[in-house]
Structure formats: C-alpha cells, structure tokens
A and B are shown apart, each in its own frame.
Chain A
Amino acid sequence: MRRSPSWRPVLAIVSLVALALSGCSETSEKSTPAAPPQGGFLRIGQVGTTGTLNPYAGGGFDIYANIFPFLIQFNLETVEIEPYFATRWTTSNDGRTWTFKTQPNARWSDGQPMTARDAAFTLNMTTRFKDGPTANYASYVNFLERAEALDDQTVVLHYDRPVGAVLPQAGWVRILPEHVWGPLAAGDGQGIKGFENLPSEGKPVVSGGPWMLTKYEKNEVTLFERNPHYFGPRPALDGFGVRYFADRDALVTALKVGDIDAIDGVPPSAAEGLKSAGFVVESTPGIDYHALDINPNPEKTRHKEILNPTVRRAFEHAIDRQQIAQVVFSGYASPGAANIPPANGFWHNPKVVPLPFSPDEANRLLDQLGFNRGPDGVRVANGEPMSYEVLLQPADNREFEILRSGFERIGVKLTPRPLDRAALSQAQRAPNGKYLEYDFALSRGGSGGFDPDFGLSTFTCEALGVINNSGYCNPAYDQLYNQQEAAPQSERVPIVHRMQEMLNEARARVVIVYVDQIDAWSKDWSGFQESPRGMFSTLSPKTLTSVHKVAK
C-alpha cells in the first residue's frame, strides 16, 4: 500500500518556527519597553529655604544629590548599595584599602572629562581640611589617610585602620570637579567656604549628576535642566524647578490652582483634601520619627526616679501611639520603637517593638514602686511630686496634649515648655553640655539616610553636645558602634540590631511614631519614584529621572 504524504512533520516544524518567532517578539517588546514621552518641565513646590550651593557651607543636600555624583547610590526599594560613579569595588584583606573602578568616558556638564582623579581630589580636599573649611564632611572621611587616582578609572582609598562602612561614608561624598574647585583648595583652603558656586554668565553650575543647575534665587527658586553629558540613564524631562514656600497653606493652594505641578512633602492634614481635588497623593514609610526623650543621665540632680527602668517602662505604657498617629499625622504615621525605622529595610530590627498603650499596667508598675498618689492625684516619688516639664517645639503641641492626657491617667503631671529648635537643644544640654536639668523633651530623629550609621552615631558619647540631644552615653554602646563601623557590610547587620535593642532597653529616646513621606502631583504627570525623603531627595538621583508628562 502506498503511503499518503505526511504533512504532520511539516506542520510541526512550521508551528515550532511560529512559536519561536512570537516568543522573540515578546522578548523584544519586554527588553525594549516603550520610552516615556520625552520633554516637559516639572514645577515642584516645597516648604523650606535654600541653603547655599556650596556643599561645605551648609544645607542644600537635596540640590547636591541631583547635580553631583557619588561613588555609590542606594536602591530605593531594597536599600541595597548599587554602583553609581563607581562601577565596582574591592577591599584588601586587611580592610584598609578600597579600590574603586569608575565610569569610563564620563564628562562634566561643561564637557570636561569626569574621572577618578576628581573623586580622589574631592576626598583628599575633604580630608585635608576636615578640621576647618570641610568640617561638615569630617565624618565621611573617618580614618581616611589619602585617596589616590592610579589612572582615569581607578581610585584607591587608604585607611589607617580597617573600616567597613566606607561605602556609606566616603562613597557618599559629593564628587566635585577638580578644574573648578582645585584653585580654592590651595593654601589653607579658606577660599572653599566662601565660594558661592552659582550659575554665572549664562552658564550652569558645573554638574556631574543627571541635572545641571541653571538658575538660583535664594529662598525663591532653583531651576535644573537635563545634563546632556550625564553618564547614566537619560532623564525624560527637559528640566524641573523647585519653588520654596514659607507657608504650608500657600504651598497647597499653589498646587490646587496650577501654579506648581507637584509637592515634595505634603502636610498630613492636606493629603485627603488633595486626593478629593483629583491629585495623586502617595505616601511612603519615612526614615524619620518623633520621640520622647527621657533624661538618662545618672548625674542629674532632681527627679532621679525617672532613671529607674521600671518607671521608664511605665512611662512608655502611658504613650498612646495610635492616637498620635491618627490625630496628629492624620494616619500618615505608624507606631514604632526601634531607632532605625522599617524603611531602612534589613537594618531595622523587627524584634524591637513598642510596649502597648496600657495605663493599667503603668499604674500597676508605679504602685509596686510605692509611688502613691497625693491629694491632687499626682504621684509622689522620693518626697517630690511626679510633675515634669516637657521641652518641645510649638509645632508639637497637639502631640504633647495626647501625651499629657495619657500621663494624667497614671498620676504623672506634664507641663509644656515651648522653645524653638536652637533653644530646645541648649535646654536639653543644660547646663553647659552636662545634661543635668531636663526631664522630658519631645524630639525628632531618624536614620539620616538608608545607611544607619548616622542615626546610630547620635547616641554615642562623642556626639554629646553636638548631635546627641538625649544625653545617652554608654561605653558598651560606643564599642558596638566602633565595631560596626569597622566590620564588613555583611557583619554589620547583627551589630546594628543589637544596638537598637540596647537603645530600646535604655529608653533614653522612646520612639513614638515613624512619619510617612507624603508627596502629591497633578495627574498630568507620571513616573515618580517614591523615596522616604520625597521626590526631590537627598537619597538618590533617580527619583525624577523617569518623570514624564502623561501622553494624551
């Protein structure tokens, strides 16, 4: 019998080919997503003031993060360190030498080459003058002896001891163009701080980040344009401007009437109103918190009962964190306890949790200690009424009222003493940096960035009188701090977790709530990458690079 021709193998082959071709086109579509619409100028509003355009003279950290590159950057979602101007790095076995490879063929916005020599220059200048003009970056170059550029793509950092936290410290120094700043670093470096670093004669500030600064009017506006020579992903926007407002109501009104397109830092009370008005409102867990400092100084002269750990536990039971989060922050905050917030990812210790709001438990603890109530309902401890003054900024008054109500239920009287920030710092440290007088203070703190190093440093003995407002000083804690600074990145995490436990046990600073970062924008725009510090951020140069106008 003659067999009929079989079409099945041919059909199978054709089907396979067709399947393969469709898979390729899908892969092509996935590997090259449609580019967002290019162009457009975004107008951002923010409450605050501009500092200066000179990184060594003061504030403006969010400006520098967008115009000057760093060696490393942080992934906004995982908090992991990623390459930026440095493409890769290695450490010597003894931890004292770090070698970074930098981006090839990079250029500053004026077209001059941007090389490892600029990184070496910046780090050496910062190190050389860290007791003078560059002092505000002194902690970034701890133990750094010198930076050496071996060639245009290699910079080597030499330390006088093993340092594990090099990436979040030296890796986070804003790299400056040597051809601009070199002459200022001559001699005693006194020219460094006085340099205004302004756009001039129609030329922008020499920049190396995704943006270049083209216009600056102090406390009014800063304008940025896309840097044509940026080595990273090309931003979709032509540019953006940041307008500075002194009043929150004026800021919100400006968005509603279309004077601006976006707000970096929406006041919690305005968020729902903006949503109802048709704006996009996004909140991200922040890296900042509100807290109650309880003086831990054993040398304090009055009210020594507050040094008792049981008394401190009772005080924490009297704090209604949920009510503060709902009433003061309109729900845009979450109760917390650890000094490194959850927004810091794996650095946060999840085992450190707040004590529940329980006036009954607080009363039981204080009754056990024999601190009975007087005729006015206020408990008496060591012959003195448990009546304390709380130092606070006027803006924290609502928070104070909730605290006062909770403490009243446990027979403790609180009275407010409103002060502005500078006076409050001084009052906490009084007299003369000895931390003898204050009992309570409503404070603010945070991790300071994605890396916990700064946040942890605010509790060291060395930081007393500088940025340590609570007065906490524990040699064992300091030892751990030094250990985590020297340890390789992977070994730092358990040390950092232990430090949070120590701080929680001491209750020198009782974290109340972690505050969300809230941003809002018009629906005409899209592509914002949220960060715990907002869209115009000190934490990453990436937050605005994908922003674009919505295609209509």
Chain B
Amino acid sequence: MRTRYILRRLVAAAVTAFVAVTLNFLLFRAVPGTAVSNLSAVPDASPALRDALIREFGLDRPKWEQYVLYMRELAQGNLGISYDNRQPVAANLATALGNSLPMVALGVVFALILATVTAVLAAWKRRTVVDYASTGAAIVFSSFPTHWLALMLLIMFAGILPSSGTSDPFLINPSFWERTWDRLSHMALPSLTLALSLYGGLAVIFRSALLETLGEDYVLTAKAKGLSDWGVLRKHALRNAMLPTTTMIGLYLAFMVTGAILVETVFSWPGVGRVIFQAVLDRDYPMLQGAFLMLTLSVVVMNLVVDLLYFKLDPRIAA
C-alpha cells in the first residue's frame, strides 16, 4: 500500500516535470522580443552580427526542431549555453545557487522561528492584547512590498550593516573568522528582509491551525487531567497544527532555489533571483529554461518529501 502510494507519487512527479519543461520552452518563446534583438543592439553592431547570432543560437531552425534538440540535450544532462556569456547554463546556475542558498536558507529559518513564536504567543494568549498585537504585526509585515521593505532596512542600517554584495571584495588577506564575519554581516540585511516578508503568512496559518487544534475534545480532556496551558500546547496542539504548516514550509524550501528576485536586486546579491531577472531582460532562453527546470524539480521533489513526511506526522495516512 505504502509502496503503491510512493510509486504513484513518483510517476506524478515525472509527468509534472515533463509538462513543466515543455511549457517553459514554449512560454519564453511566446514573450515579445528575442535574444537576438537584444544582444545585437550593441555598439558597432551589424547585419553580420545579427545573422551570426541567429545561427549560433539555432533560432533559424523550426521551433519543433529546437524543442527536440533541447529535450535531447536535456536527457543527457546538458542544459545548454547561456546567450549572455557563452558559458554552460549549469555552471552559471551553480554559482548563483551557491550565493542564493545560504542567504535564503537563513531568511527562511528566521521566518520559521518568528512565525512559530508569533503563532504560539497569539494562540496561547488568544483574544488578548498580545494576540492582537502579534497577529497585527505579522499581517502588516506581510503586506509591505518586499522592495520597499528592503530599501527601508537598507537606509535604516546604512553604515551599520553592509548594503550590497556577498562580501567585501576589498578585504585583503582576511583570517577565517574575519571572512566568516564579513559574509554573515553581508547576509544579515537580505535575510532579515526575506524573513520579515515571509513570516507573516506562515504565522497566520500556524495560528489558525493551533486555535483549531486547541478547540478539540482531546485538548479539553488533557486540561481536565491537569495539564498546564503550556503543556497542552507543547505536547498536543503544536504537533497536530504542524500538518497544514508543513506543506507551506515545503513550498518555501522549494522556492529557495529561485532566490528572491526583489531582495537580491536591492542588495545587489548575485543569486539565482538576479540571474533570472537579467535573463528575462536579455531573453536568455537557455538560462531561463535552466532556472525554471531547477525550480520545477525543486517543487516536485519537496512536494514528494512532504507527502512522505505526512506518513510520519499523520498516523491516519499510514493506516
């Protein structure tokens, strides 16, 4: 039974990935403007350049042929060559991912901690000033435009925390700790921005799940048995409230691979988000296809992991 469940999930994941890859291929070519019209608009461009680019990118071939070639290369693990710097897409994405993951992971962890604390406080002290204040703050932060929030933090902490890049490129021969501190301090503002913009939605969902659980009969029984409010929360409510929240956490983790476009733009963070943004402007199809393939696979895998986690979290599913 469990094996059949897992197999079904795997097949669904594979089909989803195939459909997403095909849609990606078609979608970017439907957008007005082409890579050639962009890349040939350089100083001293000529018709010879335009024709050479068309041939180089294979854009003189019929769309179906381009698709077949793309799928064939993909099956061999080749994501193609970026139109921008003529380097392998996989290498470009790997570098960008290496920059994005630590920053986004830190932001997601901050968001989870903030959301958990907010939700628990709000549920524990429900219908009090603490509940209204913490929930209100969560809603306010989640409604701030991310770009604006990033700029506000940049201005507020100007001169205190670094405002751009992953590290100080002008640091000469730093020790291990100097380099670590440098990288962490550069990560602080973008991660904090991400955390503040993400935690609100998560906190509200978690709070709702907690309140629903706190209204169950077994909770009443536990209280009648003499368990404290905090004990009830910790031993019964939190675990059961995790179920709907787990799906959302899984999605957050899946979207980590795309970085955070707006945050990375404000803080000049050279991550996947910024790469995607630039690739859209440049109509760099191979980079866009590669990035969205990465996102698709990430979401599919995380969904699978979450589905499998439910076996552990919810005994009713295994039964």
Q: Judging by beta carbons under 8 Å apart, are B51 and A131 in contact?
A: yes
User: Which residues in window 239-282 of B have CB below 8 A to A?
Assistant: 264-268, 270, 274, 278, 280-282
* Residue of A whose beta carbon sits closest to that of B35: A422
Complex-state Cα separation, A305 to B265, whole angstroms = 44
B100 smallest CB distance to A (angstroms) = 12
Q: Judging by beta carbons under 8 Å apart, are A220 and B166 in contact?
A: yes
Contact flag A250-B270 (CB < 8 Å), given A58-B39, A136-B45, A425-B41: no
Q: Judging by beta carbons under 8 Å apart, are A420 and B154 in contact?
A: no
Contacts of B53 in A (CB 8 A): 135
User: Which residues in window 72-87 of B have CB below 8 A to A?
Assistant: 81, 84-87
Complex-state Cα separation, A427 to B31, whole angstroms = 12
Q: Judging by beta carbons under 8 Å apart, are B268 and A245 in contact?
A: yes
Q: Interface segment, B18-26, B157-165, B174-182, B308-316? A: B157-165
* Residue of A whose beta carbon sits closest to that of B161: A257
Q: Judging by beta carbons under 8 Å apart, are A253 and B43 in contact?
A: no
Contacts of B282 in A (CB 8 A): 422
Contacts of A425 in B (CB 8 A): 33, 37-38, 41
Is B226 part of the binding interface, using a Cβ–Cβ cutoff of 8 Å?
A: no
* Residue of B whose beta carbon sits closest to that of A449: B43
Complex-state Cα separation, A246 to B158, whole angstroms = 17
Is B220 part of the binding interface, using a Cβ–Cβ cutoff of 8 Å?
A: no
User: Which residues in window 1-54 of B have CB below 8 A to A?
Assistant: 31-35, 37-53
Indicate which residue in B34, B86, B164 contacts A57 across the interface (CB closer than 8 Å): B86
Complex-state Cα separation, A465 to B164, whole angstroms = 38
Contacts of A41 in B (CB 8 A): 170
Is A182 part of the binding interface, using a Cβ–Cβ cutoff of 8 Å?
A: no
Contacts of B41 in A (CB 8 A): 421, 425, 467
Q: Judging by beta carbons under 8 Å apart, are B155 and A246 in contact?
A: no
Contact flag A247-B268 (CB < 8 Å), given A51-B85, A221-B169, A259-B164: yes
Question: A455-491, CB under 8 A of B: which get 1 and which 0?
Answer: 0010000110111000000000000000000000000
Contacts of B56 in A (CB 8 A): 132, 193
Q: Judging by beta carbons under 8 Å apart, are B37 and A244 in contact?
A: no
Q: Judging by beta carbons under 8 Å apart, are B43 and A61 in contact?
A: yes
* Residue of A whose beta carbon sits closest to that of B85: A52
Complex-state Cα separation, A247 to B40, whole angstroms = 25
* Residue of A whose beta carbon sits closest to that of B83: A58
Contacts of B46 in A (CB 8 A): 135, 138-139, 462-463, 466
Contacts of B207 in A (CB 8 A): none
Question: A55-85, CB under 8 A of B: which get 1 and which 0?
Answer: 0011101000000000000000000000000
Q: Judging by beta carbons under 8 Å apart, are B39 and A138 in contact?
A: no
* Residue of B whose beta carbon sits closest to that of A45: B164
Residue ranges of A at the interface with B (Cβ–Cβ < 8 Å): 41, 43, 49, 51-52, 54, 57-59, 61, 130-133, 135-140, 193-194, 196, 215, 217-221, 223, 241, 243-247, 249-251, 253-254, 256-259, 419-427, 429, 448-449, 454, 457, 462-463, 465-467, 538
Residue ranges of B at the interface with A (Cβ–Cβ < 8 Å): 31-35, 37-53, 55-56, 81, 84-87, 92, 95, 151, 154-155, 158-159, 162-166, 169-170, 264-268, 270, 274, 278, 280-283
Return the 5 tightest CB-CB contacts between A and B, nearest first: A422-B33, A135-B52, A221-B169, A423-B33, A138-B48
A-B residue pairs in contact (CB < 8 Å), sample of 20 = A52-B85, A58-B84, A58-B86, A61-B43, A135-B52, A138-B46, A138-B52, A194-B86, A218-B92, A219-B274, A220-B165, A243-B165, A244-B268, A259-B163, A421-B38, A422-B34, A463-B45, A465-B50, A466-B45, A466-B46
19 A-B pairs besides A218-B85, A421-B33 with CB distance below 8 A are: A43-B170, A52-B84, A131-B52, A132-B52, A139-B49, A194-B86, A218-B270, A219-B268, A219-B270, A219-B274, A241-B169, A244-B268, A246-B274, A419-B32, A421-B38, A422-B37, A422-B282, A463-B45, A466-B50
